């Protein structure tokens, strides 16, 4: 029997930072429940920003750029689960995470009526996702729109977002690693996702 594949996607430019550490815990939890996992740190990929050429509507994929997304599209398609995390930057996600999400646009099918309706090539396949963000301030309001900026596009693409987790109060690189309770929370959430995808 094939293992369920879960793809972890981290949007921090900072190596060994809080997002990296939490993403590792989520993935360890998923592995503990038998999932096959893969980690993608967006800073290791060159990802152009979508230029809105709309050519993917007829091509069905992005032919505009031959960049890191061409490696990531097959990974997304073959992964039933996604764990997507970004540090909060100015109440929002990082620019690399935004570019990545915008480049998921080829997964939409658009109709020609007005206003245009759309469906997703990834919908109705039992796909599920966890989203999380990490920020410096203790008050979750200082996370701004980061969690919604991750959740709403994934929801539109046909993922059931089963957990939306804010991690507040972490500023220094890796400071989250001292908080074993929080690491356990991430581990358990990853495990639950894997179990729910079995
Ligand atoms: C450009 C920039 C903008 C930031 N904006 C916010 C913010 O709006 N709210 C907040 O609480 N923390 C903010 N922070 C702090 C980071 O979210 C925090 O340091 C986080 O732990 C970084 O995660 P990382 O270690 O995974 O990169 C910002 C940091 C940077 C560098």
Q: Residue 97: which CATH number?
A: 3.40.50.360
Mean of pLDDT values over 138-152: 98
Which residues constitute the domain of residue 27? 5-197
* Binding pocket residue ranges, ligand 1, CB within 6 Å: 12, 14, 17-19, 87-91, 134-137, 142, 144, 170-171, 173
Which pLDDT does position 61 carry in this prediction? Answer: 94
pLDDT of the residue at 80: 98
Atom from ligand 1 closest to the CA of residue 144: 8
Cα distance between residue 158 and residue 86, in whole Å: 20
Distance CA(40)–CA(9), nearest Å, equals 5
pLDDT in tens, 74-125: 999 999 999 999 999 999 999 999 999 999 999 999 877 777 788 999 999 9
Most confidently modeled of 16-25, 56-65, 114-123?
A: 16-25
Q: What is the mean pLDDT of residues 65-76?
A: 98
Which residue's CA is the closest to the ligand 1 atom numbered 21? 171
| Mean pLDDT within 134-146 | 98
Mean pLDDT across 36-63: 96
Among 23, 136, 138, 141, say which to mutate for ligand 1: greatest number of ligand atoms within 8 Å of CB.
136
Atom from ligand 1 closest to the CA of residue 20: 26
User: Dihedral of the CA atoms 1, 9, 25, 165 (nearest 10)?
Assistant: -110
pLDDT for 158 beyond 80? yes
Average pLDDT, the chain: 96
Residue-level pLDDT at 97:
98
For residue 1, pLDDT beyond 70: no
* Number of domains, the chain: 1
């Amino acid at each position: 029997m094939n293992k369920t594949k879960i793809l972890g996607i981290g949007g921090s430019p900072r190596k060994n930072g809080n997002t990296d550490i939490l993403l590792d815990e989520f993935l360890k939890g998923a592995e503990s429940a038998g999932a096959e996992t893969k980690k993608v740190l967006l800073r290791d990929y060159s990802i152009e920003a979508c230029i809105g050429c709309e050519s993917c509507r007829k091509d069905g994929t992005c032919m505009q750029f031959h960049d890191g997304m061409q490696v990531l599209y097959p990974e997304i398609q073959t992964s039933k689960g996604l764990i997507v995390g970004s540090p909060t930057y100015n109440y929002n996600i990082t620019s690399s995470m935004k570019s990545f999400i915008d480049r998921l646009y080829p997964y939409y099918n658009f109709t020609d009526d007005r206003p245009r309706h759309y469906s997703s090539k990834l919908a109705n396949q039992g796909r599920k996702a966890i989203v999380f963000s990490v920020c410096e301030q203790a008050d979750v309001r200082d996370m701004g729109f980061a969690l919604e900026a991750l959740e709403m596009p994934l929801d539109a693409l046909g993922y059931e977002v089963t957990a939306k987790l804010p991690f507040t109060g972490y500023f220094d690189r890796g400071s989250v690693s001292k908080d074993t309770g929080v690491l356990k929370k991430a581990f358990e959430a990853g495990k639950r996702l894997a179990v729910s995808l079995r």
